[in-house]
Amino acid sequence: MSNFVHLHLHSHYSLLDGANQLEAVVRRAAELKMPALALSDHGNLFGAVQFHDLALKYGVKPIIGCEVYVAREGRKSKNGRSDQSNHLVLLAKDATGYSNLVKLVSLGYLEGFYYRPRIDLELLQEYSEGLVGLSACLKGIVAWNLLQDQYSEAREGAGRLAEILGPGNFYLELQDHGLEEQKKVNSHVLNLARELDLPLVATNDCHYLTQEDSFAHDVLLCIQTGKTIHDENRLRYSTNEFYFKNAEEMDSIFAHVPEALSNTLEVAEKCTFELGEPENIFPEFQVPSDHTLDSYFGKVVQDGFDSRLERLKEKENLGELRYPLSQYEKRLSQEVEIIKKMQFSGYFLIVWDFIRYARENQIPVGPGRGSVAGSLVSYAMRIT
């Protein structure tokens, strides 16, 4: 089993930035015998369910997370020509953490959207339970301040995040993609870890699967920014090290801080949340005591068809039906059986009920659209 797991990873759901396909990256984690894997897309949870299910399929423990944008001046401040935010990786430890992560991401769109979906420390304080935080990349609040030689501000930011997330739930990230800025930041991060007694964790900010994929990723960035690969003044990653590295590669980079590698396993052990089997939350239609859902559905359909039968026979006698009436009866029976098999009887009864109510109370009802609206069952039930 690998002694390292990736906790900072972007898939294609980090829109026009991440180039990892979910199944490919999960399969690679399984091949490398990594016991767990985190997904931390930028500002969204679009891939969370798909990632979760794929990870379980390949025998890898899924860790659902997000690299959120934290507005420096508050989520409701919308000044300037950029979003003015820092990055922060949040990982769900348990059901409470997942619920809070969903809430934070949603509020980022609903209350804080300005160029990007943003939260702030006020929201994080309210919804911090059950979350593990990582200080993120060079755009994280710690690294961003260190790059500007604002050590005290970086120290204050790290301390504030540690306070909000609680003891043992905030880790200072170490990243090394061969960037000079990271070397500068990392030396200070080591000092901060000692001063504040905060744990370290090594990550690789994976944006693509293999080193050879760096060019394709560069093209993706060009699409995002409306540039071409020949433009000199554009967003680009200056090295090709943002790929899914194996444990040996990570060990060679961070051999001087082995605890940063082993702490990836510690974080993975803390994160135990799984989505579980999907629940059926569809409302239950109440049927008469002498019926099951399927039998009552069949009765309503047949009664409705019978009520139209006289008119249909007249049309058949006049040659106005496209097919013999017996074919319609056969088709109706087939549709009913398919709907029962798919366990949609209750759904049709609910729609039938509110459409019937609307008609009885002079509420306009449209003709409907799509294959269901065109079904004989919908016609018989007077849904359409």
> What is the amino acid identity at position 19?
A
| pLDDT given for residue 225 in this prediction | 87
| pLDDT given for residue 271 in this prediction | 98
Q: Give CA–CA dist 381/349, Å, rounded.
A: 9
Q: Give CA–CA dist 87/118, Å, rounded.
A: 10
pTM here is 0.79
| pLDDT given for residue 363 in this prediction | 94
SS3 sequence of the chain:
CCCCCCCCECECCCCCCCCECHHHHHHHHHHCCCCEEEEEEECCCCCHHHHHHHHHHCCCEEEEEEEEEEECCCCCCCCCCCCCEEEEEEEECCHHHHHHHHHHHHHHHHCCCECECEECHHHHHHCCCCEEEECCCCCEHHHHHHHCCCHHHHHHHHHHHHHHHCCCCEEEEECCCCCHHHHHHHHHHHHHHHHHCCCEEECCCECECCHHHHHHHHHHHHHHHCCCCCCCCCCCCCCCCCECCCHHHHHHHCCCCHHHHHHHHHHHHHCCCCCCCCCCCCCCCCCCCCCCHHHHHHHHHHHHHHHHHHHHHHHHHCCCCCCCHHHHHHHHHHHHHHHHHCCCHHHHHHHHHHHHHHHHCCCCCCCCCHHHHCCHHHHHCCCC
| Cross-strand partners of 243 | 208
| pLDDT given for residue 331 in this prediction | 93
Among the four given CATH numbers 3.20.20.140, 1.10.1740.110, 3.50.50.60, 3.40.640.10, the one describing domain 22-270? 3.20.20.140
Domain with CATH 3.20.20.140 in the chain: 22-270
Q: Give CA–CA dist 304/379, Å, rounded.
A: 8
pLDDT, averaged per 10 consecutive residues of the chain (384 residues), comes to 94 94 98 98 97 97 98 88 87 98 98 95 98 97 96 97 98 96 96 97 97 92 90 88 97 97 98 87 88 95 91 87 90 95 94 94 85 87 90
| pLDDT given for residue 83 in this prediction | 67
CA angle 168, 164, 254 (to 5 degrees): 45
